[in-house]
Every structure is written in structure tokens, then in C-alpha cells.
């Protein structure tokens, strides 16, 4: 999978509230399918279906215990997804606060502010 | 599906239809100024910077229909991130439509960004509509910490998982 495809699989897996709840449960420690099915009032096959999607997205894996086959969380893909999304959110929050400051500066100065550096001016192409 | 929340400074994010995300925010300035802040490279370079530590060394804007823009961001470690696109509509001081492609895509396909500025008695209401190629692409962007329930899940998971090894330097700078 390309990073983009992996991200798609992660988002698709995270789109469902049951799967998010399963992940939250697994974040506290590995658990068997039976243990995972308990709080959801769902059949084991239904839970298995969700687990398959999470597994395909690389969000969970199977432990070594052959009898219980416990599922465990895989932190990396989730970290990748949250990092990108956090970046998106912070990007706009931070940007707009800077824009507030810039707009205030322009209005106080009563005109357009000088560019910060020659480097910045060099970027212009009109 | 509609999801809305207010972030610091009145930033509101809403899902519209199947393929759109709409962001709204009020600015305490007339829209001619806000329009300039979105279209004059020297001004764009002052605020469109993303997380702390990032600069925008390249900002080229050919402000005409069919013209291209090119943004390149760089952090202290020299990690770069670029985006570019084409202007589809330009109507000062209230409307800009352009396409958007990131050099390293984090959502599938090309998105179309419509920026609208509405006069609110000397202040300006900014409305940015991001149109994605598919519902899946939009939802990918939306199923994020912006959505309350998911945000809580993520927060909990983050707490529980603690600090994790970063996949690479570029991502580490965004964390």
C-alpha cells in the first residue's frame, strides 16, 4: 500500500463508532474476540468482521497465544493518521490567528505593511 | 452528515453534502484587506505557515483565471512541503476559486477550494468551501479530531498510547 492508500484504509476503519470503541478497549491491553464482543451486545462473527477491517488497516494485529488469539493495537498507522489530521486542524487555527494579527497591523499602519525580507519579495510573481 | 464545532477565534467547520467541508471565520477587517491577504504573496507569506517553525520561502501567485500558484513550506530542519493549483475564478473582493494539489497527497485526488468574503458591517466573514473528488476523500479529511466524538476517542487513545516512535522526521515536526 502507498502511504495515501494506507491512510484511506485507516480512515475507513476509524469511520465506525464500534471500531473506534474496539480500538479504545485494545488501547488498555490485548483482548480476545470473546472479550471484545462482550460490551457491544454483538455476535462474535459481527465483531470479527470489524476486527478484520481494523487488521486490514494495520491498526491491530494478533498476539502469539494460539488459543485466545488476542488482538492488540498497532500504534503506528493511528499515529500517522492523527498526526496528519492534527496538522490540518492546527494549520488553520494557527494560520487564522496570524492573519488576525496581520490584518490588525495593516489597519493600524493605514496601509500595506512592508514585506519582512528581500527573500519574501523575491517570491512574488505577477 | 453535518458536523460543526467552533475552534479558537470562531473557526467553524461543517460538512455539507457528500463531498464538501465548509470553514467559516470572522475577521475584524474590511474584505478588500482580507482579499489582499489571500492573494498578495508578501502577505500570504506572513500568515499561511501552518505549525510553529515553518516558513514559506516560495509563494508564487499568478492571479488570473487559468493562472497557477505555488506554495512551498520549509521547517528548521529543511523538511519541505509543497502545494500548487490553478485559479478557476477570481472576483475581487469577494470570491476566489482554485484547485489544490499537495506534493505529497494526504487525501485522494485534487480538491477545489472556493474562498468567499462577505461584508459584515466593516468586518469580513470568510467562508472556505473545500470540494473533494469523492465522499471517501472528504470523509478521510473529516473523520478527524475535528469531529467531537472522534476527537475524544483520539484524545483518549493518545493518552493511553503515550509517546510513540515517529515514522519520519517530516511527521515529527507536525506532531
Shortest distance, CA B137 to any CA of chain A (angstroms):
8
Q: Which residues of B touch A106 (CB under 8 A)?
A: 29, 33, 37
Give B92's DSSP letter. T
For A34-82, how does the pLDDT look when each residue is reduced to its tens digit (9 = 90+)? Answer: 888 888 788 889 999 999 999 988 889 988 877 778 898 887 777 765 5
Q: How large is the average pLDDT for residues A22-27?
A: 83
Q: Which residues of B touch A27 (CB under 8 A)?
A: 156-157, 160-161
- Tell if the CB–CB gap between B139 and A15 is shorter than 8 Å: yes
Residue B162 or A9, more confident? A9
- Indicate whether this model's pTM tops 0.95: no
Tell me which of B6, B9, B60, B129 to substitute to probe the interface with A (most A C-beta atoms closer than 10 Å).
Answer: B9
- The radius of gyration of chain B from alpha carbons, rounded to an integer in Å, stands at 17
Q: Which CATH number fits the domain A3-74, given the four candidates 1.10.10.10, 1.10.1060.10, 3.50.50.60, 3.40.50.620?
A: 1.10.10.10
Q: Which residues of A touch B26 (CB under 8 A)?
A: none
Please tell me if residue B62 touches chain A, with a CB cutoff of 8 Å.
Answer: yes
- Tell if the CB–CB gap between A126 and B167 is shorter than 8 Å: no
A-B contacts at Cβ under 8 angstroms: 169
pLDDT at B158 (0 to 100): 42
B161 three-class SS = helix
pLDDT at B40 (0 to 100): 95
pLDDT at A29 (0 to 100): 84
Q: How large is the average pLDDT for residues A95-124?
A: 70
- pLDDT(A15) > 60: yes
pLDDT at B37 (0 to 100): 94
- Tell if the CB–CB gap between B153 and A7 is shorter than 8 Å: no
Residue A98 or B13, more confident? A98
- Residue whose grid cell is 515536526: B173
Alpha helices in chain A (DSSP H): 3-14, 17-26, 33-37, 44-56, 75-109, 118-122
pLDDT tens digit at each of 175 positions of chain B: 333 333 335 777 666 777 888 888 899 999 999 999 999 999 999 999 877 788 999 999 999 999 999 999 998 988 888 999 999 999 999 999 999 998 877 677 899 999 999 999 989 999 999 999 988 787 777 654 433 333 343 343 444 333 333 333 333 333 2
Domains in chain B (CATH in brackets) are 5-162 (3.30.530.20)
CA A43 to each of CA A15, A34, A50, B34, B71: distance values in angstroms, whole numbers, following the listed order:
20, 9, 11, 55, 51
Q: How large is the average pLDDT for residues A10-16?
A: 79
Amino acid at each position: 500500500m502507498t502511504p495515501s492508500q494506507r491512510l484511506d484504509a485507516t480512515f475507513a476503519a476509524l469511520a465506525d463508532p464500534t471500531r473506534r470503541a474496539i480500538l479504545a478497549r485494545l488501547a488498555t491491553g490485548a483482548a480476545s474476540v470473546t472479550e471484545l464482543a462482550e460490551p457491544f451486545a454483538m455476535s462474535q462473527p459481527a465483531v470479527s468482521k470489524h476486527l478484520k477491517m481494523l487488521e486490514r488497516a494495520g491498526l491491530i494485529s494478533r498476539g502469539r497465544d494460539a488459543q485466545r488469539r488476542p488482538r492488540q493495537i498497532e500504534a503506528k498507522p493511528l499515529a500517522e493518521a492523527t498526526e496528519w489530521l492534527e496538522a490540518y486542524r492546527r494549520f488553520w487555527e494557527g494560520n487564522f490567528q496570524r492573519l488576525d494579527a496581520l490584518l490588525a497591523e495593516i489597519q493600524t499602519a493605514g496601509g500595506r505593511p512592508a514585506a519582512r525580507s528581500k527573500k519574501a519579495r523575491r517570491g512574488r510573481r505577477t | 452528515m453535518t458536523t460543526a464545532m467552533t475552534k479558537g477565534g470562531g473557526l467553524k467547520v461543517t460538512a455539507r453534502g457528500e463531498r464538501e467541508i465548509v470553514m467559516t471565520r470572522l475577521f475584524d477587517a474590511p474584505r478588500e484587506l482580507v482579499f489582499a491577504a489571500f492573494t498578495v504573496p508578501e502577505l500570504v507569506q506572513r500568515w499561511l505557515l501552518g505549525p510553529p517553525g515553518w516558513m514559506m520561502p516560495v509563494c508564487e501567485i499568478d492571479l488570473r483565471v487559468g493562472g497557477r500558484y505555488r506554495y512551498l513550506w520549509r521547517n528548521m530542519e529543511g523538511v519541505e512541503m509543497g502545494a500548487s493549483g490553478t485559479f478557476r475564478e477570481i472576483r475581487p473582493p469577494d470570491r476566489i476559486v482554485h484547485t489544490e494539489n499537495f506534493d505529497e497527497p494526504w487525501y485522494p485526488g485534487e480538491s477545489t477550494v472556493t474562498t468567499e468574503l462577505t461584508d459584515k458591517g466593516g468586518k469580513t466573514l470568510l467562508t472556505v468551501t473545500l470540494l473533494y473528488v469523492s465522499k471517501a476523500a472528504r470523509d478521510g479529511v473529516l473523520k478527524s479530531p475535528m469531529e467531537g466524538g472522534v476527537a475524544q476517542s483520539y484524545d483518549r487513545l493518545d493518552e493511553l498510547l503515550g509517546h510513540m516512535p515517529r515514522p519520519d522526521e517530516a511527521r515529527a515536526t507536525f506532531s
